[in-house]
Amino acid sequence: MPNTTAKTIPDGLWRKCKQCGVTIYTDEMKKNHWVCGNCDHHHRLTANERASILFDEDQPITEIATEVRAVDFLQFKDDISYQERLQNAQKGDARRDSVAAFRGCVKGREIVAVIFDFTFMGGSMGSVAGERFVRGVEEAVALNIPFVSFTASGGARMQEGMVSLLQMAKTTAALTDLQRLRLPHISVLTDPTTGGVAASFALIGDIIIAEPKALIGFAGPRVIKETVREELPEGFQRSEFLLNRGAIDMITDRRDMRDTLFRVLTMLTPERH
């Protein structure tokens, strides 16, 4: 007879690290900011997960430009229509897109943070991403506070054609307003930061921070290797490789990110401390 007293393990109780394969309690992963306690692999986060570990819990958090929504103006279709892809990625939340913009505090220092979400269509930058980025910059300018971007993107959103490529110029141009007021733009590169995002605002921050072992570059290593027909250096296009060659300023473990941002913000805007 079957053992009817046997207990079933609830779904979601465990998570397997994608890097080392070790199984860890989900609650433990959450407490560790989704960094593997065995190998320190930084798992990818949604925008809301990133915001929840970035901002002070006892201070208000405001989401910016939630009314901006994607439009299938090209009536684009490959395997399925663009509208269907959006609906599948939104999972019932029509506000959701590859970028979310927030205003909140990091250890008491008010900032605007624009956060990319790789789980939404690969963090692709389309019209909504560009508009929310610009609205975030405008909020920082209006309040005279620093601006921080967290990137995780595969590049431009092909379903929006040329409009997606225009976001490279749009986002970069918006940063000139920060420069005019001497407000810092801190760019935090997470895995992956590639394509049009890497080729625009991501690599022109006043301070560029990367998470460990993040893939950073315009084209991927496989594409480059096939193009130049040469063996690429070990760790090519990873954070550590770029730091060694002066392309970024520092590498910071996600668990130390709040402390690092606070120190950088204090140095760049000491009068607000």
Known binding residues: 17, 20, 36, 39
Compute the distance between CA of residue 19 and CA of residue 43 in angstroms, rounded to an integer: 9
Instruction: State whether residue 27 is helix, strand or coil.
Output: helix
DSSP classification of residue 255: G
Start-to-end CA distance of the chain, whole Å, equals 69
CA 221 to chain centre: 20
Tokens of 60: 């208000």
What are all long-range contacts of 75-81, with beta carbons under 8 Å and residues at least 24 apart?
76/159, 76/160, 76/161
Q: E strands within 77-153?
A: 99-106, 109-116, 147-153
| Binding-site residue set for Zn(2+) | 17, 20, 36, 39
**Which parts of the chain are beta strand (E)?**
14-16, 23-25, 62-64, 99-106, 109-116, 147-153, 185-194, 207-210, 216-217, 250-251
Structure tokens, 181: 């007021």
Closest C-alpha among 187, 181, 174, 178 to residue 114: 187
Amino acid present at 101:
A
- Report the distance separating Cα 223 and Cα 157, nearest Å: 19
Closest to 160 (Cα-Cα) out of 105, 86, 103: 86
